[in-house]
Chains A and B, each alone.
Chain A
Amino acid sequence: DAKTTQPNSMESNEEEPVHLPCNHSTISGTDYIHWYRQLPSQGPEYVIHGLTSNVNNRMASLAIAEDRKSSTLILHRATLRDAAVYYCILRFTTSGTYKYIFGTGTRLKVLA
């Protein structure tokens, strides 16, 4: 199964943009890239997903490398509420079923 690699932790100042990297060098052509975030003692929350093209939504942007071996989640203006663990996940298909492989995530600290 393809896996993702993320830095263990990152820091950002409030109101500044944050770029969270993810490597997925063994990704296959039909694997989707998903991002979730998790606050302490809560379930993860969906952020964004994409296949090949860059994606934007109200929460964030997702930039996907041309070779799809890496991606970057972009928070345009970090707030204190964005402090969480961010997971880069591959959604792949096996035998007609969908599975999601979670990595260990990046703990984002936002400084006031």
Chain B
Amino acid sequence: DGGITQSPKYLFRKEGQNVTLSCEQNLNHDAMYWYRQDPGQGLRLIYYSQIVNDFQKGDIAEGYSVSREKKESFPLTVTSAQKNPTAFYLCASSHLGAEQYFGPGTRLTVT
């Protein structure tokens, strides 16, 4: 079954710890995206990648890092430098320029 998966669904961390969110797709899409969503708000772009081994910063990249070593995988690391990391994180993929397919999201809580 083709799709995009994110794990885990819920994640709890202590302040000052780095944490990595997983995103995997088997849709053979070239492009992958990470968004952040705060309660009652829309989605804001963190990072995106159009091709393996290349990625660009989105609108709110500070405190985050990514890698794209494989076409299927685009993990996001939330570093201790991110001031307000508690949020709902969404990963998406698409053929270049086409509609995006979203994963189920990871809800990160940092205390």
Residues of A within 8 A of B (CB): 32, 34, 36, 41-46, 49, 87, 91, 93, 96-105
Contacts and interface: CB of A to CB of B under 8 A. Distances in A.
By size class, the interface of chain B is 20 to 34
B102 A105 contact: no
B64 interface: no
A98 B99 contact: no
A87 to B, nearest CB: 6
A100 B44 contact: no
B42 interface: yes
Interface stretch (B14-22, B75-83, B90-98): B90-98
B42 A97 contact: no
Interface of B: 31, 33, 35, 41-45, 48, 50, 56, 58, 88, 90, 92, 94, 96-97, 99-105, 107
A102 B101 contact: no
Contact of B101 (A42, A46, A87): A46
Contacts of A103: 42
Given A43-B102, A105-B42, A98 B90 contact: no
Contacts of B104: 42-43
A68 to B, nearest CB: 18
Given A93-B97, A97-B56, A98-B31, A44 B48 contact: no
